[in-house]
Amino acid sequence: MTTELRLPAVAGMFYPGNAKALETDVDTLLHAADSDSSPEIGQPKAIVVPHAGYVYSGPIAASVYALLAPYAAQIRRVVLLGPTHRIGINGLALPSALYFSTPLGRIEIDQDAVAALTNFPQVVVADPPHAQEHSLEVQLPFLQRVLKDFRLLPLAVGHASTDAVAAVLERLWGGPETLIVVSSDLSHYLPYATACEIDAHTAARIVDFDPCISHEEACGATPLNGFLLAARRHHLAAHLIDLRNSGDTAGDRSRVVGYGGFAFSAPRHEEKCHEH
């Protein structure tokens, strides 16, 4: 049974529940990130961003989302993947909802993209994994403030092989109109110095397209590994944009959560690249 609207589940907890306050918070984070010396990488084809409360991971996420602003008019579809934290599921779950909402308004689900996945056995339609899931929801206000007009294809990723995730992304890859967003934090609840060391190693493997990241290294390892496999096949260029943890932003340094921001762009001479 199709539902009309997936309502926000973590507004007022992970981010402000009031539209004006949320708009101000996101714009402030984006402005602070944009005022930094952002690298010139061209239009991102994909980004990897964290999904904690904005007070903790918002600056790291904003450092990546700010890179999208010059390309907002070109990006018309966002394929968003994140791990399931509350409801276990086999495969990748699409919602039945026609829209996702935040305090900033509705986002239309891309029904053409939904239809493109009809024959994939690893893709199911299931609302429970989406109902309370924050890993996807916290990305939406950033997307709403940065992009002009887009449709969304949200996938809550449970138990799935790296190849299964990569196959779904291959079907949805598209061109410059399609942005892939992978939602993942890095290490969890380690002492500050230990987390810095482990996260730096994980970040190096991510930019090296190693599709064997463990769930201890990144809570969104399943969608992340599938993306890295697909990105390697497409010869994307990887860029580490930001690497911090909750001890750097708003948390106790005795037990921190790691956050990495990454952008992946097409190679400058994509037409000359071939699979070897």
- Residue 274 confidence (pLDDT): 41
- Residue 149 confidence (pLDDT): 93
Find all residues with CB under 8 Å of 175, minimum gap 6, and list them.
none
In a domain, residue 71? The reply is: yes
* Predicted structure pTM score: 0.95
Grade residue 40 by pLDDT with cuts at 50, 70 and 90. Answer: confident
Would you say residue 48 has pLDDT above 80?
Answer: yes
* 3-class DSSP string for 115-167: HHCCCCCCEEECCHHHHCCHHHHCCHHHHHHHCCCCEEEEEEECECCHHHHHH
Q: How far apart are CA 77 and CA 180, in angstroms?
A: 9
Would you say residue 169 has pLDDT above 80?
Answer: yes
Would you say residue 270 has pLDDT above 60?
Answer: no
In a domain, residue 254? The reply is: yes
- Residue 36 confidence (pLDDT): 61
In a domain, residue 211? The reply is: yes
Percent of the chain with pLDDT over 70: 94
8 A C-beta contact, residue 48 and residue 261: yes
In a domain, residue 103? The reply is: yes
In a domain, residue 197? The reply is: no
Span 46-59, mean pLDDT? 98
2-14 pLDDT, tens digit per residue, is: 779 999 999 999 9
In a domain, residue 200? The reply is: no
User: Residue 151 is part of which domain span?
Assistant: 5-173+206-268
Q: What angle do CA 54, 92, 161 make, to 5 degrees?
A: 105
Grade residue 273 by pLDDT with cuts at 50, 70 and 90. Answer: very low
Would you say residue 260 has pLDDT above 60?
Answer: yes
114-162 pLDDT, tens digit per residue, is: 999 999 999 999 999 999 999 999 999 999 999 989 999 999 999 999 9
In a domain, residue 276? The reply is: no
Report the chain's mean pLDDT, rounded to a whole number.
94
- Residue 148 confidence (pLDDT): 85
- Residue 275 confidence (pLDDT): 43
Tokens of 131: 């109902």
In a domain, residue 101? The reply is: yes
CATH number of the domain encompassing residue 139: 3.40.830.10
Burial of 263 (0-12, 13-18, 19+ CB in 10 A): buried
Total domains in the fold of the chain:
1
16-36 pLDDT, tens digit per residue, is: 999 999 999 999 999 999 756
Span 197-213, mean pLDDT? 98
